[in-house]
Chain A
Amino acid sequence: MTSQIQPDDKSADSTRATEMLSGAAMVIRALADEGVEYLYGYPGGAVLHIYDALFQQNKVKHVLVRHEQAATHMADAYARASGKAGVVLVTSGPGATNAVTGIATAYMDSIPMVVLTGQVMSHLIGGDAFQETDMLGISRPICKHNMSVRRPEDIPYLIKKAFHIAQTGRPGPVVLDIPKDMTMPNQQFPYHYPAEINLRSYQPKQQGHSGQIKKAVAALLAAKKPVLYAGGGVIMGGASNELTELAQLLNLPVTNTLMGLGAYPADDKQFIGMLGMHGSYEANQTMHHADVIVAVGARFDDRVTNNTKKFCPDATIIHIDIDPASISKTVNAHIPIVGLVQPVLSNMLALLKQKKKKSDSAALEAWWQQIAQWRSVHGGRYDTSAPLLKPQYVIEQVSKITKGEAYVCSDVGQHQMFAAQYYKFNKPNRWINSGGLGTMGFGLPAAMGVKLNYPDADVVCVTGEGSIQMNIQELSTCKQYGLGVKIINLNNGYLGMVKQWQDMNYESRYASSYMDSLPDFVKLAEAYGHVGIRVTTPEELQPALERAFALKDQLVFLDIHIDPKEHVYPMQVPGGAMNDMFLSKTERT
């Protein structure tokens, strides 16, 4: 098959003298024209021409990480916080393969990212050249799209196309593979960056179908036991305000998925907590007994639904999503609406405001009473009798001291669930975690990406002694760029989530879940030039947090020793319905 790339020249200004640039200079210039401020990466042979072009300008700033995986997570977290694509530059071979975990992480959570990977010279491709790897083949199943440069003059068009695909429709990472000979400094080509791009084979739907929206509104008004179930699509789709307005207009209970935390303010009385495997008792009960579920930008993930055969037996499901393939994939939707969540919710609101018919307030009153009863059953309680520090308590204190407004970047494991359950997210784009892929090592680079772009904000990395060691080398990058991240290391000496499952399912046989020979994290932080504080008792926590957050520009590593026996509850019983749950080590619904 042949490559047929036609640069779009519609917006070209014929009166202006065309600038001549090398392929390498075009890469950097196109990023600047796209408004990219930071590029996260690591140099190597195949991208040296590009790095040299980077050196010769000052619009696009480069952040040198210590491992390419961290570059991808930094870019990813920037995208999660800002809604704009993060950009990564890595070399061929090992540079590209080290980026793979980060690309897959972004793909699973639908995060826009543009990853530029170096490649060996075109004529060497396929010949097992030094640092050659088939990055197009490797990344194909873990990115939204990938492309390679065949002619240097196509570079501006391909970069525009990469951003267009990454940021529209259901967002995702796009990989652009650039053979070294496409960037030769001595070969120059006319540069023109297209203002917009139109692909005949890619026209993502924007507006929802008006007939379907009418049906959804009618179903919502007739509902006696409704619930709003909002996911990451509301965050990336910038529809948090519309969601909140809809919930408050109709007095609806709202539950957020792990990816959707912050879409609805956690402090509001209508918020019933996260749902799913480690969701609140009231959220899972409300879902299970609901007669109308409005799923907004959520995908009925197996960590939400539990056994789909037993999922919410009485519910009419309204599913609003930009991706038609997400609709009726695991759970059948009765009223599907394909479109961007923001305009769809706006249309629903407009329609509701015109309607004379109001929702059944008596039924809603009874529904809220039922929810209040469920709330009183568990209510996020945890054992406070032990003298040891409880991870839940630590997160509650972090939430208080930051007023629920910090950017909280999490790693993966028990600490992630505690952060999701006990931090009060009142704003969207503040909870940054690897929900789909569950990538340990995500937290620290994610926090770095956010801190770099939002230097005045409080940025917290909630992690554990397992996860933090997967990208701990980035403490060095933090020093280089002065990234004052606050690391909350919930240290229990175990891979906590693995241990919890071994306690529950393997009679506490701790196969490789105990980490011997942990480093002295305080000394380690100090060795990298940061501040380290060890916290071993509940009394030490408050002063340590106050000191850490007072040191505005410094990275503070809080090594917090917590109760190693603690489990995350509530927890759905595997294979059960939404509301089949363990409430503690000894209680089951």
Chain B
Amino acid sequence: MRHIISVLLENESGALARLVGLFAQRGYNIDSLNVAATEDPTLSRLTLVTHGNDQVIEQISKQLHKLIEVVKVSDISEAAHIERELMLVKVKAGGNQREEVKRCADIFRGQIIDVTPATYTIQLVGTSDKLDAFIQALGTTPIMEVVRSGASGIARGEKTLAL
């Protein structure tokens, strides 16, 4: 099953390499990974999408906890949460297709953020599923490039992952 794991990590050199290395060493999957410093510059927040059975996910969580620089770990997909991913898509948009692509982007609440006579670059934010659906919806439109940030997530309500 798909899980979204949030990690608060000491913002130290080598910490990210150690965390990623753990996944490689122990044969866990990383579907996407997204990391940046938080409002506290000594801490990084990392969102990792993975999949595995309950036993594997439990081990991932425990092994992450064991890393010295990991401050907190939470499987935010276990409870109500919000998930967002950013995608930039560059497509060929000439002739008849130009209007079709625009309509499709509007339906998905995407924004066209760069335009040339022959191309559009569309920015889209949503759950990873929604971004997948948009790519499907583009149909025969030739996709030139796709850049995805990987999912970020946060728990709903008053629950937080903070110091």
For A563, the chain B residues whose CB sits under 8 A away are none
For B13, the chain A residues whose CB sits under 8 A away are 1-3, 148
Q: Counting CB contacts under 8 A, is B2 at the interface?
A: no
User: Contact between A140 and B55 (Cβ–Cβ < 8 Å)?
Assistant: no
Residues of B in contact, count (CB < 8 Å): 27
B64 to nearest A CB, angstroms?
9
For B42, the chain A residues whose CB sits under 8 A away are 4
For B37, the chain A residues whose CB sits under 8 A away are 1
Residue interface mask A1-22, B partner, CB < 8 A = 1: 1111000000000000000000
Residue interface mask A123-146, B partner, CB < 8 A = 1: 000000000000011001100111
B14 to nearest A CB, angstroms?
6
* Residues of B that sit less than 8 Å from A by CB: 10-18, 21, 25, 37, 41-42, 44, 55, 58-59, 62-63, 65-66, 68-71, 163
User: Contact between B15 and A325 (Cβ–Cβ < 8 Å)?
Assistant: no
Query: Interface residues of A: mostly helix, strand, loop or mixed?
Result: mixed
Chain A residue with the shortest CB-CB distance to B15:
A1
* Residues of A that sit less than 8 Å from B by CB: 1-4, 136-137, 140-141, 144-148, 165, 170, 199-202, 323-325, 328-329
Tell whether A202 pairs with B11 under 8 Å between CB atoms, given A140-B18, A325-B63, A328-B58.
Answer: no
For B163, the chain A residues whose CB sits under 8 A away are 200
B59 to nearest A CB, angstroms?
6
User: Contact between B11 and A145 (Cβ–Cβ < 8 Å)?
Assistant: no
B56 to nearest A CB, angstroms?
11
User: Contact between A325 and B68 (Cβ–Cβ < 8 Å)?
Assistant: no
User: Contact between B12 and A3 (Cβ–Cβ < 8 Å)?
Assistant: yes
CA distance A146 to B18 in the complex (A): 10
For B70, the chain A residues whose CB sits under 8 A away are 201
Name A325's contact: one of B11, B21, B59, B71 (CB within 8 Å): B59
User: Contact between A1 and B16 (Cβ–Cβ < 8 Å)?
Assistant: yes
Report how many A-B pairs have Cβ atoms within 8 Å.
55
User: Contact between A144 and B68 (Cβ–Cβ < 8 Å)?
Assistant: yes
For A141, the chain B residues whose CB sits under 8 A away are 21, 25
User: Contact between B68 and A199 (Cβ–Cβ < 8 Å)?
Assistant: yes
CA distance A170 to B68 in the complex (A): 12
User: Contact between A325 and B66 (Cβ–Cβ < 8 Å)?
Assistant: yes
CA distance A407 to B163 in the complex (A): 47
CA distance A141 to B26 in the complex (A): 10
Name A202's contact: one of B14, B63, B68 (CB within 8 Å): B68
User: Contact between B68 and A324 (Cβ–Cβ < 8 Å)?
Assistant: no
Tell whether A329 pairs with B59 under 8 Å between CB atoms, given A1-B16, A140-B21, A165-B68.
Answer: yes
B141 to nearest A CB, angstroms?
39
CA distance A201 to B13 in the complex (A): 15
For A201, the chain B residues whose CB sits under 8 A away are 10, 68-71
For A146, the chain B residues whose CB sits under 8 A away are 14
For B14, the chain A residues whose CB sits under 8 A away are 136, 140, 146-148
User: Contact between B11 and A1 (Cβ–Cβ < 8 Å)?
Assistant: yes
Q: Can you list 11 pairs linking A and B with CB atoms under 8 Å apart? A: A1-B11, A1-B16, A1-B44, A2-B11, A4-B10, A4-B12, A144-B68, A145-B68, A147-B14, A201-B69, A328-B58
